[in-house]
Amino acid sequence: MAAKLYTEKHEVPYYECDVTNYMTPAMLLNVIILISEKQNLDLGLGADFMEQFGLGWVVIQYDISIDRLPEINETISISTQATSYNRFFAFREFWMKDSDGKELVHVRSTWVTMNKSSRKMVTIPAAALEPYDSEPVKRLPRLKRPTKVEAADDVIEQKYQVRYYDIDGNGHVNNAHYLEWFTDVLPMDFLATHQPTAIYLRFENEVQYGHMIDSIVTKPIEVDGELTTNHQILVGDAVSATATIKWRNHD
Task: Give residues in contact with a copy of itself (CB under 8 A).
Answer: 13-15, 17-21, 24, 26-27, 30-31, 33-34, 37, 72, 163-165, 167-169, 171, 174, 176, 180, 183-184, 186, 188, 191, 209-210
Between residues 19 and 152, which has the closer beta carbon with respect to a copy of itself?
19
Between residues 3 and 176, which has the closer beta carbon with respect to a copy of itself?
176
Between CA 98 and CA 78 the distance in angstroms is 9
CA angle (172 as vertex; 105, 5 as ends), nearest 5: 35
Tell me the three state secondary structure of residue 130: helix
Between residues 72 and 140, which has the closer beta carbon with respect to a copy of itself?
72
Between residues 83 and 183, which has the closer beta carbon with respect to a copy of itself?
183
- Least separation in angstroms between residue 43's CB and a copy of itself is 16
Q: Are 186 and 194 in contact (CB under 8 A)?
A: no
- Least separation in angstroms between residue 191's CB and a copy of itself is 5
- Least separation in angstroms between residue 175's CB and a copy of itself is 10
Between residues 17 and 216, which has the closer beta carbon with respect to a copy of itself?
17
Between residues 19 and 151, which has the closer beta carbon with respect to a copy of itself?
19
User: CA nearest 31: which of 91, 111, 109, 94?
Assistant: 94
Q: How many CB atoms lie within 10 A of CB 6?
A: 20
Q: Are 113 and 57 in contact (CB under 8 A)?
A: yes
- Least separation in angstroms between residue 119's CB and a copy of itself is 18
Between residues 98 and 180, which has the closer beta carbon with respect to a copy of itself?
180
For the chain, the maximum distance between any two Cα atoms, rounded to a whole number of angstroms, is 50
Between CA 94 and CA 82 the distance in angstroms is 9
Q: Are 31 and 4 in contact (CB under 8 A)?
A: no
Helices (H), 73-218: 176-184, 188-191
- Least separation in angstroms between residue 136's CB and a copy of itself is 30
- Least separation in angstroms between residue 212's CB and a copy of itself is 12
How many residues belong to the chain?
251
- Least separation in angstroms between residue 182's CB and a copy of itself is 11
The CA-atom distances, in angstroms, between 19 and each of 109, 148, 182 are 28, 29, 17
